[in-house]
Structure formats: structure tokens, C-alpha cells
Amino acid sequence: MLTVDFDKLRVGPGVRVIDIGAGQGRHSYEMLRRGADVTAFDQNERDMADVSEMFGALVAAGEVPEQGNAKTQVGNALGLPYEDASFDVVLMSEILEHIPEDDAAIAEMVRILKPGGLAAVTVPRFWPEKICWALSDEYHEVEGGHVRIYRESELAAKLAAAGLEVTGSDHAHALHAPYWWIKCAVGVENENNPLVRGYHRMLVWDMMSKPLVTRASEQLLNPIVGKSVAIYLRKPA
């Protein structure tokens, strides 16, 4: 399940990329399959161990072009252990909403991006996220949970103020917004609720089978109810 359009970021062989807040690595795997030089970066040691293992499995399965290379790094997004202008592409997907010092994290992202380099930042979209917060305190009032809700214009202004040019934006995961509304309504941890279980089965089927009906429906609904917003950026040369 990808939130970012990697064609817009020109990810491919010879491109050095970093996935800050990589989590379980969904975006890192796609960038490796495109032959990039990938760094998956996250503060969770267990996640990074799992991602490293999966990198090896992708190579063993022949899914990685010859030029592809990948590694993991455990650390803090507020103090990235890289020199200035180290990466051609920087990705921060669904991470800034977790960080109280978001301006500092953005500054670090900008610092390590090369002049002329490209970046993408994704966060939960304002109004679908607002509904989740209204339905459930449990959804966000947890350790490491969401500390804010961004308006797209607010986040774009922050990124521009940090020295990046906004080149575009889009929305993703329209089918996932109702799933989270249901979970928030019945209890975030209530996995046995029939509505939650049924909707989850549909999402798994959609991700595995990619049927035309759901793919087309989500594309039509993303501008209206897409749960995530992705902002595409360029660092001026």
C-alpha cells in the first residue's frame, strides 16, 4: 500500500534515497525494487531488523535490479547522522504528525537533501483525521500517537518556510478512511467487531487482488475522501 507516486520523485537506479520513519518498510521496498540506493531510517530497532531481513529476501527472490542497494539505520529524525546534501530524494511518510518538534524534523530533512533534490511528505488529511479524533480519544491519545492534525495549506507553508518549493500534491487511500472511522466508533482495539473484520477482509482482498472496480473507485474517491495527503517538493538549486 503506497502513499507516494515514485515516478514523481524520479526514483530509479543511481538515485540515493532515504525513507525517514520507514516503519515496516513499505515504501523502502518499492524504492529498492526500482533499483535505488535506499536507506530505511527509523527509531524502532525491531522494525529495522525486520526491514533488513526483508531487503535480503527481495534480493534473494530476484526482485531487485543489479544497481539496487539497501540498508537500515536506527536513529532520531531530529538528529539525522548524515552530512549536508547527502541524498537525491527524501521521503517522510506519516511521521510528522507523531513528532512534537515538527519544525526541527523538517529542517533536518531539508539539510540532508541535495540542492535540486526531490522530496515527498505525507500526513493524514485534515477532515478524515478530524472525524477519527472526534470519535475516539484512544485513536490518538497513546504513546507515540498523533499529536496534531495538519491542514494541507499549513503543512505546505511550513515546508516552504524551511526552504523547499512545493511542486504538487495529491491524496491517497480513500477506501481506508471509512475503515478507521468504524474502528474509532467501535473501539480501536476491537478487532472482533463484525464491521471491522468484514471491512478489513475487503481491504486485504483489494491489496492482494487489485480488482479494477476498487482501484477505479479509489482513484475517483481519493480527491474527496483520501485519508492521506502527499505533498511533493523540490530543494532549489
Reported as a single tens digit per residue, the pLDDT across 52-85 is 999 999 999 999 999 999 999 999 999 999 999 9
- Bridge-based pairing state of the strands 37-42 and 16-20: parallel
- Least Cα distance to 176 among 146, 139, 151, 202 occurs for 202
- Least Cα distance to 91 among 135, 63, 122 occurs for 122
Q: May I ask the CATH architecture of the domain 76-234?
A: 3-Layer(aba) Sandwich (3.40)
Overall average pLDDT of the 39-49 stretch: 97
Under the banding of pLDDT at 50, 70 and 90, the label for residue 31 is very high
Q: In this model, does residue 19 exceed pLDDT 90?
A: yes
Dist CA 70 CA 33 (whole Å):
10
Chain centroid offset of residue 201 CA? 22
Overall average pLDDT of the 185-211 stretch: 93
Domain boundaries, the chain: 76-234
Question: If DSSP states are collapsed to H, E and C, what string results for 181-218?
Answer: HHHHHHCCCCCCCHHHHHHHHHHHHHHHHCCHHHHHHH
What are the helix (H) ranges across the chain? Answer: 26-33, 45-60, 102-112, 126-135, 152-161, 176-186, 194-209, 212-225
Q: What is the DSSP letter of 114?
A: E
Whether residue 13 contacts residue 6, with contact meaning beta carbons closer than 8 Å, is answered with: no
Reported as a single tens digit per residue, the pLDDT across 203-213 is 999 989 989 99
Chain centroid offset of residue 75 CA? 17
Model pTM above 0.85: yes
Q: In this model, does residue 128 exceed pLDDT 90?
A: yes
Confidence at residue 143, expressed as pLDDT on a 0 to 100 scale? 79
Chain centroid offset of residue 85 CA? 21
Confidence at residue 15, expressed as pLDDT on a 0 to 100 scale? 97
Q: In this model, does residue 141 exceed pLDDT 90?
A: no
Dist CA 129 CA 111 (whole Å):
29
Give the chain's mean pLDDT: 96
